[in-house]
Amino acid sequence: MRSHTPVSTYRLQLGTDLTFDHVAALTGPLAERGVTDLYLSPILAASPGSTHGYDVVDHSRISEVLGGRDGFARMVAAARSRDLGIVVDVVPNHMAVPTPASHNRQLWSLLELGPASPYANWFDVDFSDEAQVLMPVLGRRVGAAMAAGEIAVQTLDEPENQITPDRPVLCYYDHRFPIRAGTEHLPLADLLERQHYRLAYWRVADEELNYRRFFDVGSLVAVRVEHPDVFDATHSLLLELVEAGMVDGLRIDHPDGLADPGGYLRRLDRATDGRWIVAEKILEPDEDIPGDWPVAGTTGYDAAWRVNQVLTDPAGALPLGAVLSELTGDVVGTLDRVVEASKREIATGSLYAEVHRLASLIAELCHDDVRLRDHTMRAITDAVTELVVACDRYRAYVIPGHPLAAADAALVEGWAAQAAEHLEPERLETLQVVTDLVLGREVGSAGRQHESRRNEVIVRFQQVCGAVMAKGVEDTAFYRWTHLTSLCEVGGAPGRFAVSPDVLHAWAARTQAHHPSTMTAGSTHDAKRGEDVRTRIGVISELGEPWAALVRRLREQTEDIRPPDLDGRTENLLWQTLAGVWTEDGPISADRLASYLVKAAREAKQWTTWTDQDGDAERALTQFVTALLTHPGVVELMTQWEERTREPVRIATLAAKALQLTLPGVADVYQGTETTSVSLVDPDNRRPVDHESIRTALERLDGGACPQDLSTEKLRLTVALLRLRRRRADVFVGDRSGYQPLPTSTTHALAFARGRVVEPQVLTVVTRLPVLLRSAGGWGEHTVVLPEGRWRCVLTGGEVHGGAVPLAGLLSASPVAVLERLPDGGGPA
């Protein structure tokens, strides 16, 4: 097998408009840009009409929509001809519950045969007490649906849905379900009662769903890859592609949802003979990747937020806090309360079924143990809910049957102490029992510590914690907190507002020491806004007082068209988003902006939600957005703001990209972000990329033309750094890579060296917080101390010698400088 570590990846969102053959045609242009590896979204067969591929229905087939096995082979051949590696996104946590369900043959078997299905152990379903698998697909309650004749037994010939006339099926509009043998001729009511599944009103899911899902997405059913046979079946094709040398690396989607993430990753590491693997692990600022995970690192969220916040001005916190308070009533310093309230809403709302299932399991254990029998279901539910809400990260890593690590014990005990503050004194003893059980400690009668149900409590608690964390924080609180919305990103840390260069240096040095081949990212397919939108919003922090004045004037100008009941948090998000999407060419379309704001409002779950949409209020918001984009007063004010911030935006955009591409790790470029890309949350960030325009612009730059605008300036920088990384791979990845901060006489410059400390080979120097820098008179006599030797700027070709170098000269042509060491003879080292 080919042993390979990527140097830089290019993320490609596959779909009907970007198939394997399309990618094959892009291999030449991407290689020209300096990319070393193609980083593909999931390639396996997905649910019909899938727009992303994370809803896998068949692990044994490559998606025919994308081109099938032959198309994949053609793409790989094209990539190899350009010496490009292949990294594939793997989805081990869940499969689709497709429409119709027959597209998932394992699930179809489960629905038909129940616990007797050979695939019963694939899915995390509660079959206790002969329970039926809940299928919450009905648009109204089952009785009403039956009375209306919407549910019927039919004989169909639908080969495209793997349904043949020899077996009748149960139909509900486009849904198809198998019928248990021998029940097809029963009256409908009796037939429904006899199935291994239960058709139900969709609103029943949050309270009674009895299978684990991906967060609160009922159409994604969790898969139990902790079973060796399930692992083998769901990974055999991918491992075959690795063995055949067609896949070089893997990106693992949401490993924290698994029963034993570390065990899964160790099995995968052995199966791939130590291939480069990164895990989509969201780390809190004080959290590290578990030491027993054999991975190269994360998918880069931890790098993204630090790059963003080292370019954020802490002085903006107070004036933006005043706007926050005026529009929303929120107060700076209370994010933790917003997070807590959001998580509690999720734990008692959309994820109640998961919390209830855990609480019920604990209640059964207590009922069966005479020493624990007096702990009631209600007390247990209260304790479990508060413990889950108190969890401040995706999960702990307690493994049944393994010694309890002191760090995990301290972590969960800390959550218990916080949970105790929200419980009545009478509940505290119950909380202690719950805490002991989720930590795997002996509690109650002796000798029962390692029973299977107790082990299940340990695992299920950690899985519930992750789901509540994801839906409560990233998909609720981060849409409610609008202090500075560029901070509220997947894996972000908005409670910190800004970080200093020293904080970034410390993180980079630690990453270099422990995970030097991790991934760094600017934008991802899951991002709430693209990197360039995030940067434009971040610049607001440098002009806090002027921004506050601008918002007041915008509100005055739009008072006659603004909905009188417009939610303050939605409004604050709107104004900041407008700054993020308003470029020299004006704003994005009203449709795109309104669609984003409606989605954001539904995620915030305050005045409208996905399940209880306020159509009138959503239409009013859409009409307001449409009107304000052509409102003369708004156009004048936002145009003036764009002109005022144009240079700070330019500096921050280039600085962010230079940092992301030269910090420790494998640098990822999300499709299209080698130029400036104005994009918001999916599906907006998954629009087709105009690669031909990028190719044409790059040809002009390579021919000696100067950048025409920020987009081509970013392209020049990105390509120059990708080509540098490919040419000097050992400097950025591998044993010879290293990281060393460089001294500067001002915090407006951030500088570091890459390569071995004894003789670094590449230097990065970027400008930060230029508004304050300009008000202080510019660089003046400030310097950066470069290592001894001769250095050439990869952007301008200018040369400089080591020592104390004036920043005014070094950064005269560009706000960033990336320097490559020259040998004594004068050419690149």
pLDDT in tens, 288-312: 999 999 999 999 999 999 999 999 9
Task: Please check whether residues 160 and 252 belong to one and the same domain.
Answer: no
Provide mean pLDDT across the span 81-99.
97
- Quick: pLDDT tens for 341-361: 999 999 999 999 999 999 999
Tokens linked to 162: 């793997």
CA distance 521 to 41: 15
Provide mean pLDDT across the span 688-702.
97
Task: Please check whether residues 471 and 343 belong to one and the same domain.
Answer: yes
Provide mean pLDDT across the span 705-719.
97
Global pTM reads: 0.96
Please check the confidence at residue 826 and state whether its pLDDT lies above 70: no
pLDDT at position 264 = 98
Provide mean pLDDT across the span 625-646.
98
Q: Which CATH number goes with the domain that contains 196?
A: 3.30.1590.10
CA angle 173, 176, 179 (to 5 degrees): 130
Residue 243 domain-assigned (yes or no): yes
Closest CA to 66 of 80, 78, 50, 85: 50
pLDDT at position 2 = 52
Choose one of 597, 614, 645: the last residue of a domain. Answer: 645
Instruction: Determine what percent of the chain is predicted with pLDDT higher than 70.
Output: 99
Please check the confidence at residue 795 and state whether its pLDDT lies above 80: yes
- Quick: pLDDT tens for 56-89: 999 999 999 999 999 999 999 999 999 999 999 9
Please check the confidence at residue 425 and state whether its pLDDT lies above 60: yes
465 alpha-carbon distance from chain centroid: 17
Task: Please check whether residues 116 and 180 belong to one and the same domain.
Answer: yes
- Give me the domain span that covers residue 741: 735-829
CA distance 492 to 498: 11
Q: How distant, in Å, are the alpha carbons of 84, 512, 661, 721, 808 from that of 732?
A: 17, 10, 9, 11, 27
Task: Please check whether residues 385 and 400 belong to one and the same domain.
Answer: yes
Task: Please check whether residues 112 and 163 belong to one and the same domain.
Answer: yes
Task: Please check whether residues 71 and 173 belong to one and the same domain.
Answer: no
Q: Within 217-291, where are the H helices? A: 228-243, 261-271
Tokens linked to 190: 């009796």
Task: Please check whether residues 503 and 631 belong to one and the same domain.
Answer: yes
Closest CA to 637 of 570, 557, 749, 728: 557
Task: Please check whether residues 323 and 450 belong to one and the same domain.
Answer: no
- Cα torsion through 737, 741, 743, 746, rounded to 10: 130
pLDDT at position 828 = 52
Closest CA to 605 of 213, 206, 298: 206
pLDDT at position 1 = 46
Task: Please check whether residues 342 and 332 belong to one and the same domain.
Answer: no
pLDDT at position 735 = 76
pLDDT at position 218 = 82
Choose one of 188, 221, 254: the last residue of a domain. Answer: 221
Q: Fill in the amino acid letter for 358.
A: L
pLDDT at position 130 = 78
Provide mean pLDDT across the span 83-107.
97
Q: Is residue 816 within a helix (H) or strand (E), and if so which, with residue range?
A: strand 816-822
- Quick: pLDDT tens for 252-282: 999 999 999 999 999 999 999 999 999 999 9
Tokens linked to 503: 């904080």
- Rounded to the nearest integer, the mean pLDDT of the chain is 96
Q: Within 87-227, where are the H helices? A: 105-113, 142-147, 188-194, 205-208
- Quick: pLDDT tens for 154-207: 999 999 988 999 999 999 999 999 999 999 999 999 999 999 999 999 999 988
Say how many domains are in the chain: 5
